[in-house]
Chain A
Amino acid sequence: MIMKIFLLHKSYKIFLCILSILFISGCWDSNELQDFSIISGIGIDKGGDDPENRFRTTVQIINPSIVSGGQQAGSVQSSPVTTYSETGSTLKEALRKISNEAPAELFFPHIQIMLIGEELAKEGIDELFDVVERDPKFRVLFPVLIVKGHTAEDALKVSTSLRPIPSAKIEGSLQSSKEIWGEYPSTRADQAIMKLGEGSAAITGIEINGDVEKGNQTANMQEISQSTKLEIKGLAIIREGKLEKWLEGDPARGVVWVNNEMEETVMNLDCPEKKDAIAIDIGRAESIIKAKVKKDKPVITIRINAEGSVSETHCSMELDKDETIKELEKQLRNEIEEEVQAAIKTLQEEKSDVFGLGEYINIEEKNYWKKIKDKWEEEIFPESKVNIEVHATIRRTGMKVKSYIK
């Protein structure tokens, strides 16, 4: 009877066809969460000299029940993450080999950071990103960092407090460093790929402070002041795929200014009687780069607009007066200009155009760029004239006009 109803109507034949597709296909591509090892971070190091084990990859796998907490109270606290390392001649080989050790299939989409060991960075990182781009399991939106002075494996082994997943901690520090302090930019894998394709790139570094072996223990996590810590430090200048130089401090921030990546930072200015005694919170900044060709030579103008407010002063100043503010603005202008100048000078010495200034020339004078393209970084960029125009404004003086300091 029921079958008769279904056979009567054409639409129910179609319905039966659809129904059969449902069962014929099975559950292709379906996976259960417990069958995954969720990777939080991936590290790549130099493996050895022979091609057999060219790369050594390390994956940091999350132990979900520890991280989410509360589930297994009372039992011995195991570490929130576990790392596994393998060597191979290609990254993919090394990653697949990890399956021998890992409890379940590696799950890549939730990677939060990718670390590259300094040793490998010095030899060249050009070829590392092909798999990241090609393999659909990867997302290219995680930041890339270079481990200063250590291997990536070491860095991934350091336990961290506050954020139990070390990769998440690194990612968090990198974000806040970028947004609050503005010294080091955060380079996502896709940006790194783009920059490496164009020429030079600047990639932020990370440093291990303390003993690596101690960092590998959960005890490190339980200390109030951790004996081994991870710190965002240094800006690696990559030229032709190889690590050339580390920038720190003012030149590093100069790169951020030019790259229009500055969000917030603090600049110190001088009082008449004290050095570096006024803090200016930069709240808004932008850079505009223009390129021109004059007398067959490129002239590049970098214009930086910055807005800030006085957030601290250690000397009595008449902040209600226009002249004082004007004076401070001038100082701020010079201060920013110095930083930018330092960055550009260093990079011209290094013959690395990490700003991508060449692209601006390309936009302006296409034919000229074609001529100089091949010798740009090597010959022309170090000799080019770079004008820096800084426009700094101080908008506010905080909640007070005059300080109680006399």
Chain B
Amino acid sequence: MNTWGRMFKKKTQNVFNDETDSSSIEYDLSPSLEDNIEKVREALGHSGDLILREFEMGKPLIHKVATIYLNGLTDKDLMGNLVIEKLMADIHVVENKEGDWPPDLIGAYVKDHLLTATHVEVAIDLKKLLSLLLSGQTIVLIDGWNQAFACASQGGEIRSIQEPTTESSVRGPKESFTESLITNTSLIRRRIKSPNVWLETRKLGKITQTDIGVMYINGIANEKLINEVRERLDKIDVDEIQGSNTIEEWIADDILTPWPTIMTTERPDVVSGNLLEGRIAIFVDGTPIPLIVPATWNQFFQTAEDYYLRWNISVFLRFIRIISFLITLLGPSLFIAFISFHPELIPTPLLINLAAQRQAIPFPVIIEALLMEFTFEVLREAGIRMPRPVGQAVSIVGALVLGEAAVSAGIVSSAMVIVVAATAIASFTIPHYSMTDAVRLLRFIMMILASTYGLYGIGLGVILLVSHTVSLRSFGIPYLAPFAPLVVADQKDAILRLPKPFMKNRPRLVSQKKTNRIDSKKGEPLGEGNE
């Protein structure tokens, strides 16, 4: 199953000890305010963004109080208004006139009567305190009490919701996920106002302590699937989670396959659509791209736009995408096979044309093809990596030098330029970037097969590829469903996209319970609990 994961697990455990980061620190908080402040400071290495405010509370008996927060993670207005102001200005701690209240009572009083923050948590030890501090909460320490409050005051700069950049749509909604987990889950909540949208949160990554949210619709998502996701997330044993790709590579069924077995998206509507089909979304804080499991091959050829356009044009576009996929995968290799192994299959006028173009070309066709493909890949990479202002230069050099000059210099034939260009354009019609990348690599394997065996090699390559793909599973669902195994009912939304009234059932293999989208007996909407 998870070959990669299994292989590295032992090693990781040896290297990485659970307790390394804080083993030298004493956990318990002391009653002394000075001590506690010193402990926190020391734990954070006297970091400059640790802001400490000490003041006095109460009258006539004075309690020394300190608030601690991390600069940038906290909304200062909120913290000032709801924490410091309340503690300082409110002088009603007069009831403890004799000063005989135990510290716990003072704490309880402060919490119950003074702090107006929306969420207040008690940190009983330093570890808890630090984790709350690092997640942006304001810590309140009271002299004489060996515990602390953490008041909700998360804030600071986060990116606002913007238009999707890689999955744009004409008629659909124009919002995309941001780096904030809470913003992202709220976008889904706004779309599906059902109490059955459940969110399980956990922290992963021993050092990064990244928030992970597993979202599904209770009653629609298969429980086995939910458990499988939980189990796989449990197995992640690593100190850092850098974005959702880390999770993807940890929990994917097969990491050595060229195909993506987990879907990613940046569109809330895609996630909610998939949740309603019974799939599970995994949000990772700090990544605007959640994961969707299980994924099937055909999902990577569907776009959100398909459901916002009329069904007939959607079907047409899906066919175009599948054909483009085939062109991307096999275009250059078929060209190579025809030219160098089967020129008899080319129509005579075209053959004469190609022969004329190739007369002065010094390289065999495979070298020519690899040269052009490699150049194109370099251009593509350069286009992404280079600084924006020099972009113009690269596109001019790319278009002129490589397109026009290479042909007139007699290094490549113009037919090859057309093939490579057509392949490149076709590859951009594949809606999901991870699928484009998969085909990008497979294309080179096909080209080498074509140059050694011709059409026979392409045939072998395709057979190998298909048999490998059929053997794949994504969280228990056959990767090529609904084609292999063939689920006739699910063809309604595979390559075809029938009008919505025909889509009364959810995909059979994904959601094995509650597959009917329209409950005719009750006339009630989606996801009304387990039945």
Q: State yes or no: do A and B come from one complex.
A: yes
| Cβ contacts A108-140/B at 8 Å (1 or 0 each) | 011010000000000000000000000000010
Are A33 and B355 neighbours in the complex by a CB distance under 8 Å?
yes
Digitize B330-344: 1 where CB-to-A-CB distance is under 8 Å, 0 elsewhere: 000000000111011
Q: Tell me which of A9, A22, A29, A38 contacts B355 (CB under 8 A).
A: A38
Closest chain A residue to B4, Cβ basis = A5
CB neighbours (8 Å) of B448 from chain A are 22
Residues of B within 8 A of A107 (CB): 343
Please name the residue on chain B nearest to A26 by beta carbon.
Answer: B452
Instruction: Describe A's contact surface by its main secondary structure.
Output: mixed
Contact (Cβ within 8 A) B343 A29: no
Q: Is B162 positioned at the interface, with any CB of A under 8 Å from its CB?
A: no
CB neighbours (8 Å) of A30 from chain B are: 340-341, 364, 451-452, 454
B343-361 CB mask vs A (1 if < 8 Å, else 0) is 1100010011111111101
> Is B365 in contact with chain A by the CB < 8 A criterion?
yes
The number of chain B residues touching the other chain, given as a range, is: 20 to 34
* CB within 8 Å of B: which A50-89 residues: 62, 64-65, 67-68, 71
Binary interface profile of B, 98-128, with partner A (CB < 8 Å = 1, else 0)?
Answer: 0000000000000000000000000000000
Contact B352 A38 (CB under 8 A): yes
B453 touches A68 (CB 8 A): no
Q: Which residue of B lies closest to A27 (CB)?
A: B452
- CB neighbours of B351 from chain A (8 A): 33, 38, 110
Cβ of B449 < 8 Å from any Cβ of A? yes
Known: A25-B453, A29-B454, A109-B344. A68 touches B339 (CB 8 A): no
Q: Which residues of A contact B451 (CB under 8 A)?
A: 27, 30
A31 within 8 A of B: yes
Contact B341 A31 (CB under 8 A): yes
| A40, B352: Cα distance in complex, Å | 10
Alpha-carbon gap, A18 to B449, bound state (A): 11
Which chain B positions have C-beta within 8 A of A9? 3, 256
Interface centre among A5, A34, A62, A165 (most CB of B within 10 A): A34
Residues of B within 8 A of A27 (CB): 340, 451-452
Q: How far is the CA of A64 from the CA of B353 in the complex (A)?
A: 6
Q: A9-B3, A29-B454, A107-B343 are in contact. Are A34 and B449 (CB under 8 A)?
A: no
A67 touching B352, Cβ below 8 Å: yes
> Does B464 sit within 8 A of A, measured CB to CB?
yes
Question: How distant is B286 from chain A, measured CB to nearest CB, in Å?
Answer: 29
Task: Tell me if B356 and A67 are in contact (CB < 8 A).
Answer: yes
Contact check, A64 vs B344: say whether CB atoms are below 8 A apart. Answer: no
Contact B365 A65 (CB under 8 A): no
Residues of B within 8 A of A369 (CB): none
A38 to B464, CA, bound (A): 35
In the assembled complex, 27 residue pairs joining A and B whose CB atoms fall closer than 8 Å, in A order, are: A5-B256, A8-B7, A9-B3, A18-B464, A25-B453, A27-B451, A29-B454, A30-B451, A30-B452, A31-B340, A33-B351, A33-B354, A33-B355, A34-B358, A36-B343, A36-B355, A62-B352, A64-B356, A67-B356, A68-B352, A68-B353, A71-B356, A109-B344, A110-B343, A110-B344, A110-B351, A165-B352
Residues of chain B whose beta carbon lies under 8 Å from any beta carbon of chain A: 3, 7, 256, 339-341, 343-344, 348, 351-359, 361, 364-365, 448-449, 451-454, 464
**Interface pairs A-B: 6 shortest CB-CB:** A109-B344, A64-B356, A64-B355, A68-B356, A65-B356, A68-B353
